[in-house]
Structure 1
Amino acid sequence: MIQKLITLEKFINKEALSGIILFIATVAAVVVANSSLGQAYYDLWHMPLGINIADHKISMSLTYWIDDALMALFFLMVGLEIKREMLIGELSSVSKASFPIVAAIGGMLVPALIYIAFNTDNPYGFGIPMATDIAFALGILMLLGKRVNPSLKLFLVALAVVDDLGAVVVVATVYTSEIHAEYFLHAGIIYALIWALNFKGVTKITPYLILGVALWVYIHAIGIHATIAGVLLAFAIPIQSKLEERKFINETKRNLEDFENNIDEIPILNHHQIDSLENIAYSYDKVQNPLVRLEHNLHGLSAFFIMPLFAFSNAGVLIDFSSVSQNFMIVLGVVLGLVLGKPIGILGLTYLAQKLKIVKKPDDISWSEILAVGFIAGIGFTMSIFITHLAFMDENIIAAVKLAVFAASFIAAVIGVILLLTVKKS
């Protein structure tokens, strides 16, 4: 239990720092896009790049390589987080999972309905206000420090994991291009091989990643957004280690004793000591959980490289409010979906579900705090921008939606912080 709390605390701290870096990258993108370097910025991200794999060619702009390839690694990490939480974390039992699941459903459903209500003729962007940027959201809670209820952070993490799962489903089922069914067989065979590694007890990560690249290629060829390959791969990564903890302890103790018993006067390690260290290293590798190890390795890469790069390449938008007026209903749907839809959905559905005795609110969290988290969850930011690029091709609409996401995320964050500080004082 203590180890789980330490792991969660490290996760939250990394997400908080990532949120700050994301903010810096976003501001830098907006400044550069509106400076004399604006055209060079635009040309850089739209530079075409391609690779050939056998007879299959993939050619995309630099931005799409970031959005499709690097973001697949991000979604791999998201999938690992979802699997871990479902197996051993906050979503591992009905009693723990039911409340954040209901909250997340409300936080996705109501914003989508608000958007659709304002855009009945073109509802395709309904996924934009559904998203929550966990890095920014947790970053704000961490900046408030001890003034925030620790249980609220756990609730937000669990809610965000379910929210991520919802985003994965929406991206996989709604935001796809033309389907090329002939590649389903190729993708299916590769995915079956990945699961075969799991069933055979293979805990080395490298074979999974190699097959994961092939899976990404064929899912991209099918027409489904290629980031889904990351999630599918994550679900197949084993969580069981090859060596039991008790056996690891016993073997390590024995090797440490051998190391100590073979100490001599020579100021370098002898071959007996080297063998002992190598045995410990071998056991260390076998006792680690493959899923947790891969998630740990990807977390830093995602938090401090992939997401900031994504933000810098996608957040640059010309501050021209004429695009907002031309697409006012879309902008209104996004802003109201994030600022009002998120808190109404999260608070409203959980309150209704408790009244109907479907779920039970945690005793250490108040309804006022849940409302505050509802507004904090309205920080869509990078995930909303990601879905914007899937939903629309018109650069004018994309620019307007980005401005809407920035404004809505800022408003939601300010209201959420004020409510959290007010709750703490009351």
Structure 2
Amino acid sequence: MLRTFFRTEAGSTSALLIATVLALVWANSPWGDTYEAFWHTPMGLSFGTAEFSLDLRHWVNDGLMTLFFFVIGLEISYEVRLGQLRDRRLIAVPAVAAFGGMLVPAGIYLLLNAGGPGAAGWGVPIATDTAFVLGVLAVVGARCPDPLRAFLLTLAIVDDVLAILIIALFYTDELSVPALLTAALLLAAIVTLRWLKIWRAPAYIVLGFALWVATLESGIHPTLVGIALGVLVFVYAPSDQKLLMAGEAVQEFTNEPSARAAREATLRVRHAVSVNERLQLRLHPWSSYVIVPVFALANAGVRLDGETLRAALTSPVSWGIVAGLLLGKFAGIALGTWLPLRLRWGVLPGNLVWGQLFGGAAVSGIGFTVALFIVDLAFADPVIRAEAKIGILAGSLLAAALGWVIFRMAWDRGGVCAPPEAEPDEELPELLSVPVGPRDHVRGRPGAPITIVQYGDFECPYCGRLHPVLTRLLRDNPDVRLVFRHFPLRSIHPRAASAAIVAEAAGDQGRFWEMHDVLYDNQRHLTDADLEHYAAQLDVEPWEDVPRHASRIALDEASGRDSGVRGTPTLFLNGVRYQGPLDEDAISRAIAALRPSPQPS
């Protein structure tokens, strides 16, 4: 589900960018006056004397965007019940990070605008644009691992929920009690249908539309309806019985193809998958490739003539939004990530390093869709609206550039995981402090003349990339052996120490290297439950002698620190620190240099 979401959202970034450019070109063309005129065209429904009408922009912002938030509600429901949000330890860190990423930008904005005409816009820099963020991460490519995408998606989901609550609570001018009571009754009717397990799409569509109209008339922004209905859609994991019945129906169709068997197989397969997932599959492309780009086309158009730009350059609204998106988001998310990790409230979803997290915090400052949405609610003055939109465009561009620079710097550090406090000023030793001995884990021919000692961490992404490289080197070079020593970076890889203990437990059974390979092949799945599963597969008791294994790991760490190891992976070739690139060709050349030159005959 996450991979599908990433692919759809990242791919839609191009459509969103094109729509934004078209809106800007249209608003700044010789026909720029037609931009606002077109989006203020009224359109509605009438039945006798009853009439319901909105202009085109409000149909987009209040109508189509409700469907957009409905898809977000579907995603929230799925992730809470079956996905990543089931694990409270994985929710805590991105949730606090999302809260920090909203609180700090709002505070920075208010520092510049409190008491002024732009004070109501404090909600503009709080929201992260998921589509643009994932699009930037797609461009970043290998510098951004899947766990970071999962972390940022979780953060974005929490961010969206908080943004909708802020819109409902702080950007509602007047409340109509009768309409609000009607909306509550309609929502209760939908909940009752769900409780009775009545799954009739027309009933939900009619009630949902009526709920949207009642909410719109109540004064509460109707996008809240989208989130609520999305969360209510039923989601479940396929049961064994449903999977079995679907398989039997497909088998029957394969044996005796017929229209009846095809219909039965189709129904059985469809019912094995929850309504939530089926709706996501159908609606995600519409949301990503139609609704959000149309929203951008309707809202991103702002005149960029000299007078408008000069006004924006001196406007506290523009500067407040730029500072909030660029600095506030970065500082708030970074602090919100560090605090729960420091207090042990939760863990990260995988092998992430601070450079990657900082890059993710920076690109989260791309606030576009919801930011433009709140501009329309916060400001009635078209001049202030224009200044706010210019601030959104400038802040988002700068946040994307900052994220790109941070990702490049993190990557160009040489492919080594190291906590920030482990950056030494002293000159590091070049020689291995503790020679290879009988207690070491050795892979390869015992008497091999060339020894590679690796200080590694099972959660380190660079160690994960190095693992297949070393495997091939050992296979192609019988005169090389590999020694693995533990160096878990506990401050940035919270599961590395537990993984090392399980590896040592496997070593007691003579299966260290089997567990070593399993752990590196499953770096994204190193929870205690995962580790126990791997141990059971190898018939290992993982927690039987933890103090002894922890002591063994501590000896490796001590030898690493004495040898100048500050990050992972760190290699020593025949006792001398290797300082070249961590790719197969470079390491092969270093190995070849250790072999004695052939004597002339």
- Whether these two folds match at TM > 0.5 is yes
Tell me, which stretches of 5 or more residues in structure 2 are unaligned? Answer: 414-601
Residue 420 (structure 2) pairs with residue 420 (structure 1): no
| TM-aligned CA deviation for residue 299 of structure 1 | 0.6
- The gaps in structure 1 that reach 5 residues or longer are 1-6, 263-268
Query: What does residue 399 of structure 1 align with?
Result: 386
Measure how far apart 1:139 and its partner are.
0.2
SS of match in other structure, 1:144: helix
Which amino acid in 2 is paired with 1:104? A
- What secondary structure, in the 3-state scheme, does the structure 1 residue paired with 2:85 have? coil
Q: Does 1:99 align with 2:100?
A: no
- Which deviates more, 207-216 or 217-226? 207-216
For residues 183 and 256 of structure 1, do their structure 2 counterparts lie closer, same or farther at Cα, with a shift above 3 Å needed? closer
Judging changes above 3 Å, is the alpha-carbon distance between structure 1 residues 174 and 53 closer, same or farther for their aligned structure 2 residues?
A: farther
Letter in 1 for 2:326: V
Letter in 2 for 1:65: W
Partner of 2:198: 202
Give the one of 301, 320, 328 matched to 2:286.
301
Deviates more, 1:353-362 or 1:129-138: 353-362
Q: Per-residue CA shift, 1:58-109, capped at 9, x if unaligned?
A: 2221111111011110011111112222222222121110111011011011
- CA contact 1:176–1:224 (8 Å) conserved in 2: yes
Q: Please give the secondary structure, in 1, of the residue aligned with 2:43.
A: strand
CA distance in 2, matches of 1:255, 1:412: 52
Amino acid at match of 1:80: L
How far apart in 1 are the matches of 2:235 and 2:201? Answer: 11
Query: Corresponding residue for 2:211?
Result: 215
CA gap 1:184/1:56 in 2 versus in 1, 3 angstroms: farther
Listed as ranges, the matches of 1:2-401 within 5 Å are 7-52=1-46, 57-122=51-116, 123-240=119-236, 245-262=239-256, 273-320=258-305, 322-323=307-308, 326=311, 328-361=315-348, 364-401=351-388
Cα gap change, 1:36/1:359 in structure 2, threshold over 3 Å: closer, same or farther?
Answer: same
Any idea what SS the aligned residue of 1:91 has?
helix
1:314, CA displacement in angstroms?
Answer: 0.8
Higher gyration radius (CA): 2
How far the C-alpha of 1:258 sits from its partner, in A, is: 3.8
Instruction: Tell me which moved more, 244-253 or 401-410.
Output: 244-253
Which amino acid counterpart does residue 329 of structure 1 have in structure 2?
A: P
Q: C-alpha displacement at 1:56, in angstroms?
A: 5.3
Distance 1:9 1:308 in 2: 22
> How far apart are the structure 2 equivalents of 1:204 and 1:422?
54
TM-score w.r.t. structure 2 length? Answer: 0.65
Q: Residues 125 and 367 of structure 2 are in contact (CA less than 8 Å); yes or no, is this contact kept in structure 1?
A: yes
Post-superposition Cα deviations, 1:167-194, rounded to whole Å, max 9, x if no partner, equal 1111111111311111122111110110
User: Distance in 2 between the 1:53 and 1:13 partners?
Assistant: 43
Do the aligned partners of residues 188 and 36 (structure 1) sit closer, same or farther apart at CA in structure 2, a change above 3 Å counting? Answer: same
Q: Deviations over 1:366-390 (max 9, x none)?
A: 2222111111000001221111111
CA gap of 1:228–1:55, structure 2 versus 1, over 3 A, is: farther
CA distance in 1, matches of 2:115, 2:48: 43
Partner SS for 1:44: helix
Deviation at 1:363, TM superposition (A): 5.7
Aligned twin of 2:491: none
Q: Which has the higher contact order (CA 8 A, sep 6+)?
A: 1
- Mapped partners of 2:335, 2:349: distance in 1: 16
Query: For the residues of structure 2 that align with 1:287 and 1:361, how far apart are their CA atoms?
Result: 32
**Number of residue equivalences:** 409
CA distance in 1, matches of 2:272, 2:255: 25
Q: Provide the C-alpha distance between the structure 2 equivalents of 1:23 and 1:253, rounded to a whole number of angstroms.
A: 43
**Deviations, residues 247-293 of structure 1 (Å, cap 9, x unaligned):** 2333334334544554xxxxxx6xxx222112112212322201111
Q: Which amino acid aligns with 1:294?
A: L
Assess if the C-alpha contact under 8 Å between 1:147 and 1:421 holds in 2. yes
Aligned to 2:533: none
Tell me if structure 1 keeps the 8 A contact 2:249–2:265. Answer: yes
* C-alpha separation in 2, matches of 1:248 and 1:18: 34
Residues 363, 52 of structure 1: CA spacing in aligned structure 2 closer, same or farther, 3 A cutoff? same
Answer whether contact 1:205 1:290 (CA < 8 A) is retained. no
| 1:3 counterpart residue number | none
Q: 1:293 to 1:257 in 2, by over 3 A?
A: closer
1:134-182, Cα deviation, whole Å (9 max, x unpaired): 1000001111222322211111111111111111111111111311111
Q: Cα 1:260–1:375, aligned 2, differ >3 Å: closer, same or farther?
A: closer
Displacement after TM superposition at 1:301 (Å): 0.6
Partner AA of 2:111 in structure 1: A
CA distance in 2, matches of 1:360, 1:259: 47
1:307 aligned partner, one-letter code: V
**Secondary structure at the counterpart of residue 225 of structure 1:** coil
Identity value in percent? 35
Change (3 A) 1:203 1:146: farther
Shift of 1:39: 1.6
Letter in 2 for 1:105: F
Contact 1:26 1:312 in 2 (8 A): yes
Tell me, yes or no, if the aligned pair for 1:212 and 1:230 is still in contact at 8 Å: no
Kindly indicate whether the alpha-carbon contact (under 8 Å) linking 2:249 and 2:268 is maintained by their aligned counterparts in 1: no
Find the residue that maps to 2:51 and give its secondary structure: strand
Shift of 1:45: 0.8
CA separation of 1:128/1:145 partners in 2, compared to 1, >3 Å: closer, same or farther?
same
Report the counterpart of residue 266 of structure 1 in structure 2.
Answer: none
**CA deviation after TM superposition for structure 1 residue 402, in Å:** 0.6
